[in-house]
Amino acid sequence: MNPSGPQKQSLSPSEKLLRERLKAQAEPLQPVTWQELTARQETAIKPAQPVSSKAVALWLTPFAAAAAVAWLMVVQPLSTNGQARPQTPMLLAGNYQLESIDRQIQQAYLRGADDATISALWQQREVLTAQETF
């Protein structure tokens, strides 16, 4: 390259075509009116999607939502480590008795029962808890 000035070289046909395109897209030397700009924009704006593809997309939306819900509810829980989650154990009869005695103790305290009644209820509770520990 010669820094002193531009060199005259012959341009290839593709370079000539590129030069013409750049000239066509360059800013005009004269100011452009707003009517000309509006006309250019109207010709440049094209619909992004045809109407039929929008209709198909809207038609498929419920099926896509149903597939997502099915995946979340059915497929995803099946794919977790293959182990079932432990179920909470069912309360045994002894647990019901223990709960009943706990309520009786609470009621005795709320009613202001005497110490003999409260200590008897606590003894019954201790007997039940001793039976539960194996």
Q: What's the Cα-to-Cα distance from 48 to each of 51, 54, 56, 71, 101, rounded to whole Å?
A: 9, 10, 15, 32, 74
Whole-model pTM: value is 0.32
pLDDT tens string for the chain (134 positions)? Answer: 455 555 667 889 999 998 888 887 776 677 778 788 788 777 776 655 555 667 777 778 888 888 888 878 777 666 555 555 556 565 565 577 888 899 999 999 999 999 999 999 999 999 888 876 55
